[in-house]
Structure 1
Amino acid sequence: MMNGTEASRPASRQLALFIGLMVLVGLNLRPALSSLAPVLTRIQQDTGLSPLAIGGLTTLPVLCLGIFAPLAPWLAKRFGPENTLAAALLLLAGGLLLRGVPAVIALFGGTLMVGAAIGVAGTLLPALVKRELPAGADLMTGVYTMALCLGGALGAGLSIPLADTLGGWPAGLASWSLLALIALVAWQWLMPRHDTATHLPEGGGSTRELLSQPLAWQVMLFMGSQSSLAYIVFGWLPTLLVARGFSEAQAGWMMGASVMVQLISALTAPWLARLGRDQRPALLIVLGLVAAGFWLLLQAPAVWRWPGVVLLGLGQGGGFSLALTLIVLRTATSRLAGKLSGLVQGGGYTLAAMGPLGIGVMLQFEVGLTTLTLVLLGIIAVSMSFALFAGRNRRLEIDDTGRLVTR
């Protein structure tokens, strides 16, 4: 007969395997976005696209995140979350390969596929974390977010070198499909398997019920406002830095360094959030860091660029990690976490898509950096107001009568 220690070893190995798979999948959900921004100038030169069209290109994947994220719970219920995630990885790899075709229609089509895949996969992972690690879901969300940030940093930092090495931006963008295919094979081979009925029980928590809960709206609006800042960085920060006088390569590495710094706060922010009675102080701190980072990068003398890079990275890594953490902290079950994740990321990313589009429109009309900076600070102020509500110690639960309530 096995003793308790021996019996726990298979479970520990399974847990470690799931964390490893979660990190590998997470690594794939940002390079498709962050690798595009550093080569936007080359794309514009080669294709003749206007700044407004380039703004549409940066907005398209974020808008797709919002459109396709709500489909994830529906797909997971019918095909299982494991199979749905595998299909999303396959779609991601296909979209990345399509972007390697040197044609404008292929660039936009591949970007649409990439956004759809990331929208579905990113929505499923918080619910899977809640199911596999219910006691430490908030801390494991930090690990997952760290993987997202690392993938984003690699995409930003390696975009120009890959384009130069492989003979152009199409091949550089397409090369990220290899990482997606590796994740797909690993997930298919090693993914955790559960009976669908085990993790998708019937009960309350429909989308209509969620929409009747102010807490769900508060979390969604916080996600959307802080995410708009992240996708403005992914889409336009290198362009803004080039406008300040930095080279393409310098701008790409500065963006990559800022995203790399996000690793620190992505992992530590959930621990910080546990120190108080609720998450409001942590949310306000990270948003304050984002404001300071933008100001130093876009308005302060160039000597302050690296402190700006660090502060922006710390703030955005912590902000996104806490936004995902709120999904698991504000729900009582993995099913509710999945439903709330679809709503929050669907509505939030649809709202976030207005950020890079708005910056593209302002650049089309040659708006100055000072005005752009004030607009960014205004978005941060709005996000802070939503954080004061979403950060309160509240939770969505199903009561004894099967109704969705906030407690």
Structure 2
Amino acid sequence: MEYLILAVAIAVIAIAAVSGLVISGRRRKGREAPPPGAPAEGASGASPAGTAAPPEPQVGEDAAQPVETPRRTIEDIGLPGGSTLAEPPAPPEIETPQPAAGRLVRLRARLARSQNALGRGLLSLLSRDNLDEDTWEEIEDLLITSDIGVAPTQELVERLRERVRVLGTRTPEELRGLLREELLTLIGPELDRTVNTAGGITEQGEERPSVILVVGVNGTGKTTTTGKLARVLVADGNAVVLGAADTFRAAAADQLETWGKRVGARTVRGPEGGDPASVAFDAVKEGITEAADVVLVDTAGRLHTKASLMDELGKVKRVVEKHGPVSEVLLVLDATTGQNGLVQARVFAEVVDVTGIALTKLDGTAKGGIVIAVQRELGVPVKLVGLGEGADDLAPFEPEAFVDALLEG
């Protein structure tokens, strides 16, 4: 009997323990968060079947409801500065340069405006009633200050004195004609002023283009002159390759390449600080491969007093000559430097055998006599003159047009 009572007690205790666990589990389950869309615990009222109960009112920032906005693609998003992704720019349109023939004549009015102080001054002095020694000294001073040089000035004055004395020339038109003849004689109308574009034949029997080296000191406008010369040559029907052998300035190669693209000329360039002789050699090689008519090599500007730089220029010329003779060595001189330019010219002529002069900024000075002086100093002709900033303001030098501009009233 005692065992029966003990068994019943154990059973009752076990049933009570199991019931407690069940009730505790239900309470924990009731405290868990309801699934999305289900009514919150303790909310009054029942939601209609198939619909979610409205959310409880919120306060402050919680009151804002998220608004779904359409997403933008990368094509819709603008780049900084208002630009958008676009196709790369089209290559520049190839220009047609103005014909080279007659450029100096077309630009004569511009040249005359800045140069005619010399012509007007000479005519005024020669028109005096009494051409005494003082007047001839004034004439001589005017010519010297116009950068003609001492020796050419003395020669011109002596001729003028003799002709005026013998011929008795006095009228303005007679004096103008007399001056024109004497100035033309000094400038040398018989000199060959054409830029040599005749090529040759390599040792392998290939046609070789004309090779033109462009040299000069810093600041004379050498790279710009090279680019403008390319336009002159293209206008005359030549196929041109440019060699950017000024490797010390990256801007020089970029500038030359821009000039070339404008007229459809390919530019050969090397790494910044590279060997300029190597670039010049590659440019001529490219010209041979492309059957070009002319290869223009722009060399680095250098001071004529720096022996190492001048030696390097000589090396460029020797390396290029491995393909064949250099056709032209054009020395670019700034007309405004006057007699100082003659010192520069002398040194360059000794190193690379200059064959022609390109005189820049001639429209910016009244000292047109530098044309006579530099020719006398080097024994080589002025072949090109720069008369402005325009792309086609480099002109083949024409002595008659130049003298007419000097004497323009």
Q: Which has the higher contact order (CA 8 A, sep 6+)?
A: 1
* Structure of larger gyration radius: 2
Higher helix share: 1
